[in-house]
Amino acid sequence: METSTPLIMEKTSEKNTATFTHLSTLTQYFIPFGNYIFPILIWTSYKDKSEFVNHHGKQTLNFQLSLLLYTLVLALIAIPVFVTVFLKNIPMEAFFNDDNFVIRNFDFQGNIGLLTIGGTAVVLFGLLKVVEFFLVIYASIKTSNGEYYKYPLTIPFIK
Handedness of CA 57, 62, 63, 64 (dihedral sign): positive
Task: Tell me the pTM.
Answer: 0.79
pLDDT at 113 (0 to 100): 79
Q: Phi and psi dihedrals of 96, rounded to 5?
A: -120, 25
Bridge partners of residue 97, in order along the sequence: 100
Furthest-apart CA atoms within the chain: distance in Å: 79
97-139 pLDDT, tens digit each: 566 666 566 666 677 778 888 889 899 999 999 999 999 999 9
126, with CB counted inside 10 A (0-12, 13-18, 19+), is exposed
